[in-house]
Structure formats: structure tokens, C-alpha cells
A and B are shown apart, each in its own frame.
Chain A
Amino acid sequence: MSEPAVQPRRGYSVRTLPGFAVMAVFCFIALYAPIIILVVFSFNAGTSLAIWEGFSLRWYAQAAANEAVQEAAVRSLILASIAATVATVAATMAALATTRTRRFPGRTMIYALINQPLMVPEIVTAVALLIVFAWIKVATGHTSLIYLITAHTAFCIPFAYLPIRARLETMDYTLETAARDLYASPWNVFSRVTLPLMWPGIIAGYMLAFVISLDDVVITEFVKSAGQETLPTFMLGQLRRVVTPEINAISTVILAAGAILVSLFFWLSRGRK
């Protein structure tokens, strides 16, 4: 064959390397097995995390009735909703400012600042926040959720920004030009053309920010005041005690919530291409 083969020959393919498929399948099993075992034992009737004693929902009932869990779950949700909302609004504005433009003075700096939380290890940001917020807390005596909200908003911004920016960069600019040619006011162009077009990106950014806030443990652990446990920090604290399948039940709920949000995120960002 002188022409380059488009389809690899059957039987012998340059695309298969010996042992690679076996390793890959092993990896997929290894990626899911621990999670599946964790989920399975959340339905265990006994107190063991490794010996199956029959199906039961008792640990879910126990977790749902646990006031500490209820409080932490509500706090996590409030925190994630506020942080993700503020972060998405700020990120949308910043994305509008930094895309579809020539280089303007300071663009690289804005870009670097927005992505800064991604570049620094979380533990470093966490202790830096601990220092500053301890100072403010001592000076003002004020201890509300505002510290956690600010901290979460900050590290959610880059996660909300990236999908919104990606959406903006692939959007058809001619539609907005057409609207402008037809004498639409700047506000009308934005609210009737730009915003509806970038909506999937905004929702995707919001989902991502929400998941990131919901999952955060390091920064929350250092910023929270006494009695401000979120679900992840509550679980981290519980690990020091005797672990029962109640932890598995809470974990399973968190996994399910995360999986739904991430699937929605993927579904929304697929429309991009």
C-alpha cells in the first residue's frame, strides 16, 4: 500500500500497544471500586464498613435526623449559593471585559489576578486568610458567615470565569453587530442578544462554582469561626472518631449532588461546539 492507510489493518494495529488495554481496564476499575464500595456500605444494616449485613436505609435516616448534619448541610448550601452567585456575576463581567478585544493595558494583569487562586496551593491561601480574618475578627468582634462567603467567592471566580470566557470566545460576533446595525441600544444588544447567547456558559460557570464551593474543605477549615461547620469540615472532624456508615451515607449524598451538577455542566458546555 503506497497510500497512507486511513483505517488500520485488522488484526495488527499500530494503535494497540501490548498490555495497555489491560492496564487501562484495571485503572477504570480501580477508579470506581473504592467509590462503589463506599456507596454500597452506606446501605449496610450493620455498623461495619467492610462486612455486609443486609440492606437498610438506617444510616441515611440517622444522618438526616442528626442536627449537626442538618445544620452543616444547610450552611453548605447557603454558602455555595451565595458564593457561586456573586462569583458568577463578577466572573461574567470580567469575562465580558477580557474577551473579544485587542490587547489593552492591564489585560494580562487582570487575567493573572483572576486565575491567581488556581496557582497557589489551597493550604497557603487558607492560612493567609486565617491571618487576615483573625485580625479583622479581633478588631471588629464580628463573626458571621461573611468571611466564609468572601473566601469562597474569591476561589470560585476563576472556575466560573473559564467556561464563560470559553463560551464568549466561540460566540458569533456578527449577531451583535447586526443588532447594532439595526439601531438597537447598547443595553438592548446586551440583554437581547449577548446575554441569551452566553447564557449556557454562565449556567455552566455557576454549576462549576457551586460544586467547587460545596466541596471545599481546606479553606473552610481555616476560615470558619466556632460552630460554622460545613458538610465537608463536619465529615473531616468525624473521621477522628469511630467511623460508622453514617459517613458513607453523607458521602453518597454529596457524590450524587456533585455528579448531577457536573453532568449538567457537561451537558451545557457540549452545545458550545
Chain B
Amino acid sequence: MTDASLHTGPAAGELEREAEQADNRSRWMLSTPAIVIICLAAAGPLMVMVLYSFLTPGDYGNVKWEFSTQAWVNTILQRDIFDDTLMWADAHLSIFWRSLSLSLITTVLTFVFGLPTAWFIATQPPGKKEFWLFLVTVPFWSNLLVRTIAIQELIRAEGVINNTLKFLRIIDEPIQMMFTDFAIAFGMTYVYLPLMVLPIYAAVDKLDFRLVEAAHDLYATRWRTFWRVILPLVKPGIIAGSILVFIPSLGAYVTPRVLGGGKNLMFGNLIELQFGQGRNWPLGAALSLMLMAAVMVALIWYVRVTSRERADV
């Protein structure tokens, strides 16, 4: 510090620092509109929600301004109406379990279908690759609600699948697919499949096929090559794809609402219920924060795994 000022003179150092500060200021000013809007309508309201989760529910929705931790207790426990003992809130726990298990099933299914698709695209000759990639991307960018409606019309009792099966005389009565957990898993696998394909594609595209050839040359069977050479090399893409599918599945609202109906609720629908018929905004706020925490845990796990992977290489 003192050395520098001796060499360049105090004025020069001062000028440089001032220029730097002016630059910082203008960069902050340029960012201000974006930051203000996001604080106003995204980040800020999340803070208010923390406050609301510690208030008392109002009689007709909204809140009374009285401090209470009841909402947080009620996320997993409930009080018996007769003898006032605390017990597990089975309804909530079963919804958490459905959210978690359906999200995991969706992740596995998208992987099972996504890996071959990504592999197929990545091993196409250069000119055709872009075309196939485009084909995967288009459904991803098309309206999620519309794609969910497409699935609904497919699996309805009078839908295309049931009608075809009836026409072929395989079944007499339509199979009940709508408003089941199957419908939700099926729908989510359909809408989130591109999210699994794209990162795995990126990983396969970078794969050094000389390593695969080397494994073959050393008399590894196809299966062994796949298991010991290909999978470990493609793993970063698989992990990225899994997290990209798992996180929106856990927070899914539209797909379970349309395909699951009123009985097969997922986390997102349970939250909505508290702001609608449930009239328990603090509980809804607490549940929302729990969902957010669950997503954060998944993200932190992802960051840790990927940084470890990088350290290994």
C-alpha cells in the first residue's frame, strides 16, 4: 500500500481508485431496475412469507397479527379434536411422501427414456444432430399446460388410449387412468423428459470415444464397457439432468392439479389448499418455506457432488 503510493504518487492512486468506484457505482445503477423489480415481486415477498408463517390464521383467510408458531407445528403434527393430544398429521405426511416418491419415479423414468434418446442424438452425424436436438427442444418450450392437457385427453376414460383398446377388444370397460398417481407420474415424465435429455446429450457429445474403443480392444464386453467406461464418463450429465427433473417435479402444481384431481395432491397443491378452502395462510406459508428448503437441499447436494466430481478429475 505505502510502496505503491511512493512509486505512483498519491494523486495517481487516488484517481485510479476514484475511477474504479465510479465504475462500480454505474454498474450498480445499471442493475438497479432489475434488482428493484425482483426484490419487489420475487425475493421480497419470500421474506414477508417468513413473517406470515409466524402469525395466526384469520377467520376468513388472510391473517391476524398475533404471533404463533402453530403453523410450523401443524406442518407435520395435528391436535386431536377430542382429547387435544398431538399426533402425526397423516394427511400431510402422505402428501409429502407422494411428492417425494412421484418425483423420484419421474426422475428414474426420464432417465430410462432420456439416456438412449440423448445417446442417439449425440451419435448422429454432425449435420443431423441439430435437427434431432431441435426436435427435443420444441416440446420443452411449448406450453406446459397445453402439454398436460394433451396427456389428459390421451388417458381420459373416453380418451384415445381407452378407445383404441376398446376398439381392439382388449378391454370392455375403460381403464381408470385419470386422477391416479400413475397419471401424475406419466404426465410429469412426459413434460420433463427434455430436461433430462439435454444435459445427458451435452455429456455424451463430449465423450471421448477412443476410451470406449480402448475398452473394446481390451476385450471388455458391451455391457462391461457401458457400465465401467460410458456411465462414469456421462455421470455429470446424468446428475445435472436428474436435478433438473427432480426439482420441478417436487414443486409441480399444474400437472398434479390437472391429472391428479382433488384427491391425489402433491406438495404444491397442498400449499394452494391452505390459501383456498383451508383458509390457513400461515400454514400455507410454512409449507411453502418447507418446499423451498427441500429444493435448496437438492441444489446444495448437486453443487457438492459436482464440485467433488471436478476435484476427482
Chain A proximity of B161: nearest CB distance (Å)? 9
Q: Give the bracket for the number of chain B residues in contact with chain A.
A: 35 or more
Segment of B1-9, B68-76, B82-90, B209-217 in the binding face? B209-217
The reply to whether B40 and A154 contact each other, CB–CB distance below 8 Å, is yes
- With an 8 A cutoff between CB atoms, is B96 at the interface? no
The reply to whether B159 and A50 contact each other, CB–CB distance below 8 Å, is yes
- With an 8 A cutoff between CB atoms, is B43 at the interface? yes
Chain B proximity of A237: nearest CB distance (Å)? 11
The reply to whether A121 and B28 contact each other, CB–CB distance below 8 Å, is no
The CA-CA distance from A123 to B160 in the complex, in Å, is 31
The CA-CA distance from A51 to B163 in the complex, in Å, is 8
Closest residue of chain A to B46 (Cβ to Cβ) is A128
The reply to whether B158 and A48 contact each other, CB–CB distance below 8 Å, is yes
Segment of A57-65, A66-74, A101-109, A172-180 in the binding face? A101-109
Which listed residue (B41, B52, B119, B121) contacts A151, Cβ 8 A? B41
Chain B proximity of A42: nearest CB distance (Å)? 10
The CA-CA distance from A110 to B57 in the complex, in Å, is 35
Closest residue of chain B to A98 (Cβ to Cβ) is B31
Chain B proximity of A157: nearest CB distance (Å)? 5
Chain A proximity of B193: nearest CB distance (Å)? 7
Classify the interface of chain B: helix, strand, loop or mixed: helix
- Chain B residues closer than 8 Å to A27, beta-carbon distance: 113-114, 116-117, 193, 197
| Contact A127:B284 (CB < 8 A) given known A14-B212, A37-B160, A93-B34 | yes
The reply to whether B150 and A34 contact each other, CB–CB distance below 8 Å, is yes
The reply to whether B271 and A122 contact each other, CB–CB distance below 8 Å, is no
Q: Give the bracket for the number of chain A residues in contact with chain B.
A: 35 or more
Which A127-153 residues have C-beta < 8 A from chain B? 127-132, 134-135, 138, 150-151, 153
Chain A proximity of B175: nearest CB distance (Å)? 14
The CA-CA distance from A98 to B46 in the complex, in Å, is 25
- Chain B residues closer than 8 Å to A129, beta-carbon distance: 41, 45
The reply to whether B209 and A15 contact each other, CB–CB distance below 8 Å, is yes
- With an 8 A cutoff between CB atoms, is B153 at the interface? yes
- With an 8 A cutoff between CB atoms, is B108 at the interface? no
| Contact A255:B143 (CB < 8 A) given known A37-B150, A125-B46, A129-B41 | yes
Closest residue of chain B to A31 (Cβ to Cβ) is B139
| Contact A121:B291 (CB < 8 A) given known A4-B213, A94-B34 | yes
Scan B235-278; emit 1 where CB is below 8 A from any A CB, else 0. 00000000000011011011001100000000110011001000
| Contact A154:B37 (CB < 8 A) given known A104-B23, A124-B251 | yes
- Chain A residues closer than 8 Å to B116, beta-carbon distance: 17, 19-24, 27
The reply to whether B153 and A49 contact each other, CB–CB distance below 8 Å, is yes
Chain B proximity of A241: nearest CB distance (Å)? 13
A114-B35, A131-B52, A218-B253 known; 20 other A-B pairs, CB under 8 Å?
Answer: A22-B116, A27-B116, A27-B197, A32-B135, A37-B153, A87-B37, A94-B30, A113-B34, A119-B299, A120-B292, A124-B291, A127-B285, A129-B45, A131-B281, A131-B285, A150-B37, A157-B37, A161-B34, A239-B152, A255-B142
Q: List 23 A-B contacts (CB under 8 A).
A: A19-B116, A20-B115, A23-B113, A27-B193, A31-B139, A97-B27, A97-B31, A98-B31, A105-B24, A106-B24, A110-B28, A114-B31, A119-B295, A121-B251, A123-B251, A124-B46, A124-B271, A138-B62, A154-B41, A251-B146, A251-B149, A255-B142, A262-B137
| Interfacial residues, chain B to chain A (CB-CB below 8 A) | 23-24, 26-31, 33-35, 37-46, 48-49, 52, 62, 113-117, 119-121, 123, 132, 134-139, 141-147, 149-154, 156, 158-160, 162-163, 190, 193-194, 197, 209-210, 212-213, 216, 222, 225-226, 230, 247-248, 250-251, 253-254, 257-258, 267-268, 271-272, 275, 281, 284-285, 288-289, 291-292, 295, 299
